[in-house]
A and B are shown apart, each in its own frame.
Chain A
Amino acid sequence: MKQVLKYREIEGKSTGFWILLGGLGALIALALGAVLYMEHEGHYVTGMTNQIVWGMPHVFAIFLIVTASGILNPASIGTVFGKTLYKPLGRLSALLAISMLVGGLMILVLDLGHPDRLIIAMTYYNFKSIFAWNIILYNGFLAVVAIYIWLMMERKMNKYYPAAGFIAFIWRLILTTGTGSIFGFLVARQAYDAALLAPMFVIMSFAYGLAVFILVLMAAYAWTKRPLGDAVLFRLKNLLGVFIASVLYFVAVYHLTNLYAAENNGVEHFILMDGGIYTKLFWIVQILIGSLLPLAMVYHPTIGKSRPAIATAAALVIIGGFAQLYVLLIGGQAYPLEMFPGYEVTSSFFDGQVSSYSPSIWEITLGVGGIATALLMVTIAVRVLKFLPVTLEDAVVDPHAAKTD
C-alpha cells in the first residue's frame, strides 16, 4: 500500500508526557543549582584541580557536542546522498543536532571560571586558537541547521533545503574536526598531539550520534504509539554496526602508532596496562561492553532483529562513548607531563605523579542537566511543531512507496 508521508505534532496530553517534562525540568533545575553553588564557592568544591583541569563536565559536554554533529547523519544521508528511506528522519535528526549542541555548550559555558564573561568569549577572538574557531563553528552550526529545518518544513521553500542540507553536512564535518583538534593541537601532553584525533572524533560522532538517534526514535514512537517499521530500524542498526567498527579501527590505529613511537610508550603503558581505573574503563567498558558487544548484537542473525536488543546495543554504544571520552580526557591528564625523559621527577606540585580525580556530585549534576536540556528541547519541539512523521511503517518509508515525498 502506498501511503503519503505526513508529519504531525505529538499530542502531548498524557500523564507520561507531563512526567517527562517535569522530570527533565527538575534535572535542569538541579543542574542550575549546582552551577550556582560551584560558581559562588569556586571550583574547589569540584573534583577538578590544577592537575586535572578539565573534569566530568567536559566529558559530558564533549560527548554532547560530538553527538550533535553525528546525529545529523540521518538527515544528511537523506538530503545529501539522496537515500529516500532516510528522508522522513531528516527533521528529527536536525532537531536533535541543535538540541544536543545547545545542551553540550550549556555545560561547557557553565563550567567556565567566569561564565559571566560569555560576552567576552563572543567578542574577543584570538584566531590562532581552535577554541575561538569552535565558538564560531558552533554558533554557525546552530544557524545553518535551523535554516535547514525551516526549509524542510516550509513547503514554499522546500526546493532549497538540499542546498542547506549540503552546507550543514560540510559544516558539521569541519565542526567535529575542530572539536577533535582541541586535543590534536595540544603538543604538551603525550596522550594528545595527534592529527588522527580530528578524523577519529568525526567517526566517533557518527557512532554516538546514531546510537542516540536510534534510542530517541524508538522512545518517541513507542511512547506516542506511532508505528515504526523494521525497514528503517534495521537499516539504522546495521549502519550503527559499521560506525562501531570504524571507531574501533581508529582506536587501534591511534594506539598502534603511539606504541611505535618510543616517546609515547609511557602513556600507552599507562592507559593500556597499569592505569587502574583508566585501563579498566578502556578494556572493559569502551572496548568490550561499548564496542564488541553491541557490534555482535546488531549483526547477530536473531538478536539483531529484536527491538530490545537494538535499543540495548545503542545504549551500550553511548556508555562506551562516555568511557572513551573519560579515558581520553581524564586519563590523558592524569598521566604526568614528561618534562625530563629518563628521570624520576618529584616536587611539591605533584610532578611525575599520576594525578587522581574523583568527580563531585556537582559536576555530574551539571552534566546530566545538559543532557536533560537537550531532551527537553526535543520534547517541546516535537509537541509544538511537525517534526515526527505520523508513521514510519515499512509501507511509508520503503523507497518504492516513498516517492510521494
Chain B
Amino acid sequence: MSDTSKPMDPTRRQFITKAGGAAGAAAIAPGVFLTTPAQAKPADQPVSNDKRWGILVDANKCGNGCNACVTACEEENGWGSANPSEDHSSPEQKAHWIRKVTIKDKATQHVTTLPMMCQHCENPPCVDVCPTGASFKREDGIVLVDKHICIGCRYCMMACPYKARSFIHEDLKDQKPWAPRGKGTVESCTMCVHRVDEDGTPACVEACNAETHKAMVFGDLYDENSEISRELKQYGGKEIRADLNLNTGVRYRGI
C-alpha cells in the first residue's frame, strides 16, 4: 500500500483541471490567481467525519433584490442562465440549485429574503427514500447524487422538505467537468464539493462576501474555532423545518 504520510501526487484529472485553470488565469490576468493554492486533500484519501461542513445564512444581512449567490452558483456549476441549452424546459421544469426566497410575516408584514438550497441534512429524507442509494451523504455531511446509479424515479424530490432537488427534463450541453448534469437524473446543490475538497469555499458564499453583504459563512461545524461555530455559539441559528429533526448543515439567522 502507498505511504500516506507524504502528500500524494494529484490525479490526472486534477492536474489537467489545475493546469487548465492556471493557464487560463495566466492568459487572462498574469500574476493573479482566481483561487488560492490549496492544501488539497489527495483524491485517494477518503473523506472523514472529523469535519461537518455547514453554511450559516444571516437573513438580516441578505440583500433584498441581490441575487449574487444564485448567479455565482449558476456560473460555477453551469445551470440556469449560465447554461442556455436547457431551453425546452418550462420555467417550472428548469433546474434550480439555489434560489432567493422572500418571506413576509403575515402578522407584522416584516419582509425577509434568504437563499434556499439543499440543507445538507444529517438525516436526509432524500437519502432514506432513494431505492438505489444514488442519493448519499458523505462522511463530512455533504449530500450528493451519484449520477451513475440514479434511475430518475424522483422519490427524493417527493421526500425533500425544501424543494432543493431538480430533475433534468432534457439533454444538456456545455457542462462543467465537476458538475455533470444528465437528462433523466436528479441533481441539487453540492455545496461546491469540488472546491471544498481543495480547501475552497462554495461559490455562493464567496459571491456573497464579494458583494460585501457577508450574509453567508461557510465552515466546519465541528471545529469550535471556526467562524461558523463561533457565530452559531454566540448568536445561535435556526433550522428551517426544525420540527422534522433533520439537523441541517445550513442554518439561518434572522428568520
User: Which of A's residues lie within 8 Å of B, judged by CB?
Assistant: 39, 41-44, 48-51, 53-54, 112-114, 117-118, 120-121, 124-126, 128-132, 135, 182, 185-189, 333, 337, 339-340, 342-351, 355
Q: How far is the CA of A346 from the CA of B183 in the complex (A)?
A: 28
Please provide the chain B residues from 233 to 253 with a CB less than 8 Å away from any CB of chain A in the complex.
240-241, 244
A-B contact pairs, 7 of them (CB 8 A): A39-B184, A43-B184, A112-B184, A131-B155, A135-B131, A186-B129, A343-B104
Q: Inside 8 A of B157's CB, which chain A residues have their CB?
A: 50, 53
Q: Given A126-B131, A351-B101, does the pair A44, B161 have CB atoms closer than 8 Å? A: no
Q: Given A42-B184, A114-B151, does the pair A49, B92 have CB atoms closer than 8 Å? A: yes
Are B159 and A113 interface neighbours, CB within 8 A? Answer: no
**Shortest Cβ distance from B121 into chain A, in angstroms?**
11
**Shortest Cβ distance from A358 into chain B, in angstroms?**
11
Q: How far is the CA of A187 from the CA of B116 in the complex (A)?
A: 19
Please provide the chain B residues from 13 to 40 with a CB less than 8 Å away from any CB of chain A in the complex.
none
Closest to A133 in B: B131
Are B170 and A44 interface neighbours, CB within 8 A? Answer: yes
Q: Inside 8 A of B90's CB, which chain A residues have their CB?
A: 44, 49
Q: How far is the CA of A41 from the CA of B185 in the complex (A)?
A: 14
Q: Given A114-B152, A114-B184, does the pair A188, B103 have CB atoms closer than 8 Å? A: no
Is B203 interfacial (CB 8 A cutoff)? no
Q: When the two chains form the complex, which single residue of A112, A185, A347 contacts B100, counting CB atoms closer than 8 Å?
A: A347
Is B47 interfacial (CB 8 A cutoff)? no
Are B184 and A339 interface neighbours, CB within 8 A? Answer: no
Q: Is the interface of B mostly helix, strand, loop or mixed?
A: loop
Are B159 and A112 interface neighbours, CB within 8 A? Answer: no
Contacts A186-B129, A343-B105 aside, 17 further interface pairs with beta carbons under 8 A come to A43-B169, A50-B92, A50-B94, A53-B167, A112-B152, A112-B153, A117-B152, A121-B131, A129-B128, A130-B129, A132-B132, A187-B244, A337-B163, A339-B240, A345-B101, A349-B163, A350-B92
Are A339 and B185 interface neighbours, CB within 8 A? Answer: no
Q: Inside 8 A of B168's CB, which chain A residues have their CB?
A: 42, 113
Q: Given A51-B92, A114-B185, A337-B163, does the pair A188, B100 have CB atoms closer than 8 Å? A: no
Is B166 interfacial (CB 8 A cutoff)? yes
Q: How far is the CA of A345 from the CA of B108 in the complex (A)?
A: 14
Q: Inside 8 A of B131's CB, which chain A residues have their CB?
A: 121, 124-126, 129, 131-132, 135
Closest to B255 in A: A340
Q: Inside 8 A of A349's CB, which chain B residues have their CB?
A: 96, 99, 163
**Shortest Cβ distance from B89 into chain A, in angstroms?**
5
Is B225 interfacial (CB 8 A cutoff)? no
